[in-house]
Amino acid sequence: MSWRCHIAHVHAAGFVLLVTWAWWRWKQRSGAERWQPDQRRQEGSVSFELPPEAFFRAEAKAARDLGVLAVAILRARRGYASVLELFAGSGLRAARYLAEGSCDFIWANEANQDVHQAVVVNLTRATGRTGRVGRCDDLLPEWAAPARSWRLQEGLPLHGCEAGAHPGWRSCRQADKDSASVAVGWRVTHWEARALLGYCRATHRQFDVVDVDAFGCWTHIGDALEAVRPGGLLYLTATGLTSWKPSRSFRALGCLGRCPPAETIHDQMCRALVWHVAQTADRLNLVAETMFTLYRASGDVYRLMFRVTRRYGESSLLPQCVGLCACGSFVGPIEAEALFGARSFSRNCEACSGEVAFWGPLWVGPLQSEDFLEELQRDAEQYGLQGTRGLGRRSKEVRSRKFPLLATLRAESLWPPPRPWTLRLSELARRARRAPVKLQRLLEGLQAEGHSAGRVRQLGSDSWRFE
C-alpha cells in the first residue's frame, strides 16, 4: 500500500505544479491578449468597453454625472479644462470628461495594466476621431519601477500611450511650457498614484480638476491638493468608513473622543472627512471649500467635491467638537481649542446636568454650497449631462426628470447653517417612548415655531436636520 500512496502523492504534486504553471502563464500574457471587446455598455452619450478586470459600479452613475457637469461648467467659465484621474478603472469617467465635459486634456492613470487596451479604446472612441495613438516613451527617461515586485507586462509601453492635437508639454516652445492651457488630447499611464503626483509636483504641473476615486480613505490628500490649479476642483471618494468598525476610521481621520452614535454616524463621518481635507489644505496655505457632499448607502461611498484656492493671511480654521449626553441630547458645537488637549472631554449637559461625551474635531459648517449647486442646476439642462458641443443628444428622460439629485442636494443647502448632526425619527420616538409621528408633520411644526428644518434624503427616509 505504501508504493500506491507514493504514486498518489506524486500525481497530486504534479497536478499542483501543472495548475501553478498554467496560472503563471496566464499572468504573463498581456492585457491585450486576455481582453476581448465583448462587453460594450452605454452611459450617457458614451459607449464604452468594460473588461472583466476592471471594477465598475452602475450605482455610481449619479456621482459621475455631477463630475461631468462640474467639468463642463468649469470649462465654459475658464475656456480650458485639464483633468487628472488617478484611478481610471475602465476609462469610463475619462471618456465622459472628454465627450460630455468637453475637457481639453485628460491624464487617465490606472495601476492595473490589464485594462490598458480597454482604456485606450474608450478614450479613442470618446474623442470621435481615429487619430494616431503614440507612445510617450520620453515622458521620463530615467523612470524606474516603483517596487521590486512591479513588472511591466509584455506588449505594453513603459510610460503609456497618448493621442490628440498636442497631448503634452514636451515638444512645446520654452515660452509655452509654463502655460496652463497648452496640452490638448489624452494620455494613459499605469503608474502608482503617489508616484504620478510626485512627478507632477516635480515638473510643476497642475490640473483644473483632480479626480481621486480610490478604495478606502486616500491617505495622500495633500499631494492631490497641490496638483489642483488655484480655483480648480478636487473630487474625492472615500469608501467603507462606517461599514466596519467606524471608530477606527474616525481615529484615522484625526478625531478624538467617543465614536458618534449610529443615529448620526454617516453625517459625523462626512464632517470628519471634510475637516481632514480642510485642515490638510490649511497646512499647505490653501483653502478647500466644500461644494457638495454625496453619500450612497450601497457600498458605503462618500463623494465630496472641493474648490481649492490659495489662502492669504492668517488661518481662520477653528477646531470644534460635538457631544452627546446620556439623556440623548446633542451638545455643540464647542469652539474651545483646549478641549482637544486631552483624551477625554467633560462638560455638563444643560438639559439634565449630566456628563457629556464629546468627539471631534469636525467640520461644523455647511456641507453643500448653495451657489455652486444653483449653478449646476441652472446649467444642467443646458449641458444635459448627455453631451456638449453637439456630442450626444439630450434624451427625453433627461429633459423631464430635471435632475432630482441636484434638487435634493440644493434643498439641504437652502436653510441657515443647521446644527452639525442629523436625527432619525425612529430614534427620536424611542427616546421619547412614544409612537413616531409623520416626519412631514414634525417638520411643519418646527417651522411654525420659527425653526429651519428639512429632510436629509441621502442619509435615509427618516433623517432630518434643524436649526
Q: Residue 302 domain-assigned?
A: yes
Instruction: Give the pLDDT confidence of 284-331 residue by residue, as tens digits.
Output: 999 999 999 999 888 889 999 999 999 998 888 888 888 777 777 777
Instruction: Give the pLDDT confidence of 244-260 residue by residue, as tens digits.
Output: 888 888 888 888 878 88
Split at pLDDT 50, 70, 90, the class of 141 is low
Split at pLDDT 50, 70, 90, the class of 30 is very low
Q: Residue 324 domain-assigned?
A: no
Distance from C-alpha of 104 to C-alpha of 125, rounded to nearest angstrom: 15
What is the mean pLDDT of the segment spanning 374-393?
57
What is the mean pLDDT of the segment spanning 386-409?
49
pTM for the whole structure = 0.81
End residue of a domain, out of 310, 325, 356: 310
- Domain containing 428 equals 422-467
Q: Residue 354 domain-assigned?
A: no
Q: Residue 375 domain-assigned?
A: no
Split at pLDDT 50, 70, 90, the class of 351 is low
Residue 50: which CATH number? 3.40.50.150
Q: Which pLDDT score is estimated for 3?
A: 59
Q: Residue 159 domain-assigned?
A: yes
Bridge partners of 463, per DSSP, are 424
Residue 151 identity (one-letter amino acid): R
Q: Which of 330, 323, 321, 353 is nearest to 431 (CA)?
A: 330
Do 173 and 294 fall within a single domain?
yes
Q: What is the 3-state secondary structure (H, E, C) of 108-162?
A: EECCCHHHHHHHHHHHHHHHCCCCCCEECHHHCCCCCCCCCCCCCCCCCCCCCEE
Instruction: Give the pLDDT confidence of 422-435 residue by residue, as tens digits.
Output: 777 777 777 777 77
What is the mean pLDDT of the segment spanning 336-345?
54
Do 436 and 299 fall within a single domain?
no
What is the mean pLDDT of the segment spanning 132-145?
60
Three-class SS state of 68: helix
Q: Which pLDDT score is estimated for 390?
A: 33
Instruction: Give the pLDDT confidence of 262-294 residue by residue, as tens digits.
Output: 888 888 899 999 999 999 999 999 999 999 999
End residue of a domain, out of 288, 310, 332: 310
Q: Residue 2 domain-assigned?
A: no
Q: Which pLDDT score is estimated for 132?
A: 61
Q: Which pLDDT score is estimated for 386?
A: 39
Q: Residue 285 domain-assigned?
A: yes
Bridge partners of 453, per DSSP, are 466
Is 166 buried (19+), middle (13-18) or exposed (0-12) by CB count in 10 A?
Answer: middle
> Does residue 366 or residue 467 have the better pLDDT?
366
User: Which H or E run includes 209?
Assistant: strand 207-212
Q: Residue 25 domain-assigned?
A: no
Q: Are 189 and 113 in contact (CB under 8 A)?
A: no
- Count the domains in the chain: 2
Do 100 and 242 fall within a single domain?
yes
> Does residue 452 or residue 180 have the better pLDDT?
452
Do 66 and 195 fall within a single domain?
yes
Residue 160 has pLDDT above 70, yes or no: yes
End residue of a domain, out of 259, 284, 310: 310
Do 305 and 426 fall within a single domain?
no
What is the mean pLDDT of the segment spanning 45-68?
85
